[in-house]
Amino acid sequence: MNDNPNQHDEFLRQQELTRQQDALRLRQETDRVSAAQRRGKFVWMSNTIGLLVGSLEILLGIRFFLRVTGANPDNPFARFIFGLSEPFMAPFSTLFVSPTNGGATQIFDINLLIAMVVYALLGAIAIAIVNYLQGQSPYSR
């Protein structure tokens, strides 16, 4: 009769220990899910920045190619590219005088190259900030 209360107490202790272990595992899993969701948001932000900056770089690269090859600015495609990229070129348009050939049909637009470098650096800085906020070193990729 004396063993029965001890066995019952031991059984209750085991149940309490199991309950505490389950609660700890649940809390750890909840923390893991929360961290994964947070990482997912930061990855989405980083990828979005990369996509936008990459698209801008492609647009400016096409504009550079059209300017260097002397494309007709009245052509609908060239007019579309020039019109779409003009707001991004406006801050850099009068930075330097760009060299041209004799008839000024082919323009090596230094301002455009500077704009591409500046936008690439701004994109890299933005991605580094997102990685910093996430708690990830930018050199760990």
CA distance 125 to 118: 10
The SS3 assignment for 107 reads: strand
- Rounded to two decimals, the pTM is 0.72
Q: Are 60 and 86 in contact (CB under 8 A)?
A: no
> pLDDT tens for residues 65-101?
999 888 898 999 999 999 999 999 999 988 887 777 6
- Nearest Cα neighbor of 87 from 68, 47, 126, 59 is 59
pLDDT for 49: 97
pLDDT for 1: 45
Which residue is it, tokens 């406006």? Answer: 90
* pLDDT exceeds 50 at position 110: yes
Q: Are 60 and 52 in contact (CB under 8 A)?
A: no
> pLDDT tens for residues 22-73?
999 999 998 888 888 888 899 999 999 999 999 999 999 999 999 988 889 8
